[in-house]
Structure 1
């Protein structure tokens, strides 16, 4: 077949896609139009394949206007976008010949196929160079230089050397001073020169790049700031060594803090003690320190939404450096410390707690509690991390602390400002403003209410597992799937399975629809098999359908606690135990949920449901207690819904039946709560 002698006598065309990642503009495809004579190429982005026809019409008009000529023939494959009635009608109207390739023979459209390979090779190189592999390909396609190339004064020469004739176009070598040109011969392996820049321009590492890369020098500045904190808080003092003192080591730990949108917030450097060398009873005593329950966080957000309260977030910098130590602990000098002159042979004595010590969390929480209680706050007995201060006129301030992250809300706005100022006088506190990002949970507020989601966390999880381009699933688990400990072969890397399930467990903090499926796959952590891993990937495919799905707490007054319980009778194929499921609401706001396998085998579905009702009663009692402490008295009976009438009869009737006389006594405490009017069992259809 001869090559056309004129431009636009023959146009090669092909559609590439879909891209595994959608571009910011919503495009997933692109189409190429290549002139066979000049090999000039035009590339257009597509949102769907059916957009080829209007773009081809624009292309024909552009050729006619700019080059005063027409297209005489087009060659393409048998894709539906090229053989549609509308496309063929357009070709017939313009008198353009259509050359179609044979089915399953892409080599007959080799010009367009080769151009696709050329384009995507360039795109992948740009993506790898920008450390955003598999991200937004359309941006790179339309902009070959998305950012200025950095020029280093110590690496770039000053003046070019004069070119010399060679067998190929001359190669100019840029140097500070004239240099002899490179020889016109291939370089031997290993003969190339390499230069290492003094300042790295690479971005901070992400979870997608486990290999080590050079970090920006801001981490060194962070370490200097940390040195200042140690001196400011008088955490460490230098003293002489008697030789008999036992010292522990320490190390520098560098981390990166990210914002909700994934951008870098700041670089952190910490001097961490090697607490794993501490001896129990000698170097430390009690170590327990409470942290806020995420159920308490959701309850607080629900109260703020229903009462239109503001939500504020504070962060205590270097919180563990404020804790007071009860033990005498000596530590080696930090790495990089030069023990010269008067410091030669000296060791460090810890005056206050330090990151890495076993007792540091407890020491910090004790110090924080002491300060916050001195501000007339009262600790809640139902959750020791929750504090409340109520004025005589009824206005209140509620404070919740999770290690060094603090949430403030209430209707006493001047009081909240005073609390911020008072805390700032004792600790170094950073006021983060309105609550937006807390423990990986994104908080968004509007006049309609407050939403909680883990969109960034979900996308990061899908990116790490390579599931961003997977086919979505409509349900988190196949309803006909029954997993057991013997189904499938053992996987070679159990830690990967365990880590993946652990991340899914944390995702259930805002995704109650995943709770049951994640509960099932978490039962095989000790010896995961291929069928279990397939079930986990199915959950990820379901998550892919809506990564931003979460909870929404509508504005408007809410009150009253209610709980819905259910049981999957004998659902476990391994030990035939049932699974308890429950959901607790404050008004219309979903506050807590649970899916957990029961500890014993139930003899009937009614018994399984009755045990689930007992678990729901426990959850209601705890939520009623914390609501009462916060000043929202639950005077009315809480509704406990169940879809099994016999289980409801067991809760209402204290007579022992033949089918229920073996049930443990502690399960029957629900009857006491029913008689006292705290719980009212109610039937709800399945």
Structure 2
């Protein structure tokens, strides 16, 4: 963590200032993980500070599939790169490193999505923690970007994207397939469920569950190789679905919101979460769920505007 903060200071990533009136702040969190290769061997221990949110990665992959782009990956030593700011972004100070003299101040940092257009060609660069993915239909763009990065920063080229943030990514002629088979198998092994029977549906619809700390665990699992398919040269309109149950929790009578967001026929975002309030009617539960779904849609509209789409 200290090394990460020192990298920020050396690269002058942010300025610590009071939050201006009327401005919102993005939360930050520490991410601790072991860097592994494809065979699962730990090659490095890491602590990184990140802004919250990861759906942008799936949006980038959906766009790459839509444009029939090959996506590549590089790794840099420091999680943030310096760039020219086109807008102000405010993030909270990192946990454990809040300035004791300015606890209410915030840092301003660069955004993580970079696009360059030249005529009809475009290169997309997305930064997450200490990894960068980039892609373009014009392979010359990709080669030039990789060459520039190697001369200016300590980094290593990792070739075509195939494993990223726990996601296994297969770039096929017809599209991009994403799943988490390795992660699921590791979890099953951890809880001694590798030999459990497989179910296509994990639970009957309409089932209500009680808390039972002394109960026996269910020894059934879903197929671990299922995933998301992003076909190439496909549609790219933004569509969202939302639903809610009413008083589904038998303990506190709270409802559960559910929503999913598609770009064309590519699922990029979803959530299922118990509501914070107790709804007095089905309609009220639906409104709470719809509000949460619309919040996500508005964020996605902002993200997609950077790609040149105004919905």
TM-score class, shorter-chain normalisation, is 0.7 to 0.9
What is the match of residue 202 of structure 2? 476
The DSSP-based 3-state class of the residue aligned with 1:573 is coil
Q: What residue number does 1:308 align with?
A: 68
SS at match of 2:185: helix
Distance 1:459 1:575, change over 3 A: same
Structure 1 residue 623, shift from structure 2 partner: 0.9
Query: Deviations along 1:3-22, whole A, 9 cap, x unmatched?
Result: xxxxxxxxxxxxxxxxxxxx
Partner of 1:388: 115
* 2:37 aligned partner: 259
Deviation digits for residues 490-524 of structure 1 (CA, Å, limit 9, x no counterpart): xxxxxxxxxxxxxxxxxxxxxxxxxxxxxxxxxxx
Gaps (5+ residues) in structure 1? 1-234, 236-254, 273-286, 321-363, 489-528, 635-686
**How far apart are residue 297 of structure 1 and its match?**
0.9
Equivalent residue runs for 1:78-97 within 5 Å: none
Shift of 1:289: 4.3
Partner of 1:435: 161
Task: Quote the Cα distance in structure 1 between the aligned partners of 2:156 and 2:88.
Answer: 25
1:427-463 CA-to-partner distances (Å, cap 9, x unmatched) read 2211111110001110012122110011111111111
Structure 1 residue 290: Cα displacement: 2.3
- Give 2:185's match in structure 1, choosing from 428, 446, 459: 459
Residues 297, 614 of structure 1: alpha-carbon distance in 2 compared, 3 angstrom cutoff: same
Larger Rg: 1
Give CA deviations for 1:140-196 in whole Å, capped at 9, x if unaligned.
xxxxxxxxxxxxxxxxxxxxxxxxxxxxxxxxxxxxxxxxxxxxxxxxxxxxxxxxx
Asked if structure 1 preserves the Cα contact closer than 8 Å seen for 2:72 and 2:160, the reply is yes
Report what 1:596 is aligned to.
273
Secondary structure of the corresponding residue to residue 221 of structure 2: helix
2:227 pairs with 1:550: yes
String of CA shifts for 1:301-336, please: whole Å, max 9, x gaps: 1111111011010012xx24xxxxxxxxxxxxxxxx
- Say which of 214, 220, 243 aligns to 1:530: 214
Q: Give the superposition deviation at 1:477.
A: 3.0
Q: Distance in 2 between matches of 1:256 and 1:564?
A: 36
What whole-Å deviation, never above 9, does each CA across 1:623-682 have from its counterpart, x for those lacking one?
111111121232xxxxxxxxxxxxxxxxxxxxxxxxxxxxxxxxxxxxxxxxxxxxxxxx
Normalized against structure 2, the TM-score is what?
0.75
The answer for the alignment partner of 1:445 in structure 2 is 171
* Contact 2:49–2:129 (CA under 8 A) maintained in structure 1: no
* Alignment partner of 2:243 out of 566, 591, 613: 566
Displacement after TM superposition at 1:257 (Å): 4.5
Q: Give the secondary-structure state (helix, strand or coil) at the position aligned to 1:633.
A: coil
CA distance in 2, matches of 1:480, 1:558: 33
Question: CA distance change for structure 1 residues 289 and 593 in 2, over 3 Å: closer, same or farther?
Answer: closer
Task: Kindly report the root-mean-square deviation, in angstroms, between the aligned alpha carbons of the 2 structures.
Answer: 2.9
Match of 1:575 in 2: 252
SS of the aligned residue for 1:530 comes to: coil
The structure-2 alpha-carbon separation of the partners of 1:593 and 1:380, relative to structure 1 and needing over 3 Å to count, comes to farther
Distance 2:256 2:40 in 1: 41
TM-superposed deviation, 1:378:
6.2
Greater helix content: 1
Secondary structure of the corresponding residue to residue 369 of structure 1: coil
8 Å Cα contact 1:380/1:387 also seen in 2: no
CA contact (8 A) 2:75 2:130 kept: yes
**Contact preservation (8 Å) 2:196, 2:221:** no
More relative contact order, 1 or 2 (CA 8 Å, 6+ apart): 2
Contact 2:72 2:134 in 1 (8 A): yes
Q: Does 1:419 align with 2:145?
A: yes
8 Å CA contact 2:36, 2:43 repeated in 1: no
Measured in 2, the distance between the counterparts of 1:557 and 1:474 equals 28
Structure 1 residues 289 and 259: alpha-carbon distance in aligned structure 2, compared to 1, 3 A threshold: closer
Counterpart among 548, 572, 585 of residue 262 in structure 2? 585
Correspondence 1:628 to 2:311 = no
Distance change in 2, residues 1:625/1:380 (3 Å): farther
Aligned counterpart, 2:51: 290
Determine the structure 1 residue equivalent to 2:294. Answer: 617
Structure with more of its chain in strand, by fraction: 2
Cα distance change, pair 268–606 in 1 and its aligned pair in 2 (3 A): closer
- Partner Cα distance (1:607, 1:479) in 2: 22
Residue among 82, 106, 114 paired with 1:369: 82
SS in 1 for 2:208: coil
In the alignment, the residues of structure 2 paired with residue 410 and residue 380 of structure 1 have an alpha-carbon distance, to the nearest angstrom, of 27
Relative to 1, partners in 2 of residues 1:387 and 1:381: Cα closer, same or farther, differing over 3 Å?
A: farther
Work out whether residues 379 and 388 of structure 1, in 8 Å CA contact, stay in contact via their aligned partners in 2.
no
CA distance in 2, matches of 1:629, 1:381: 15
SS in 2 for 1:425: helix
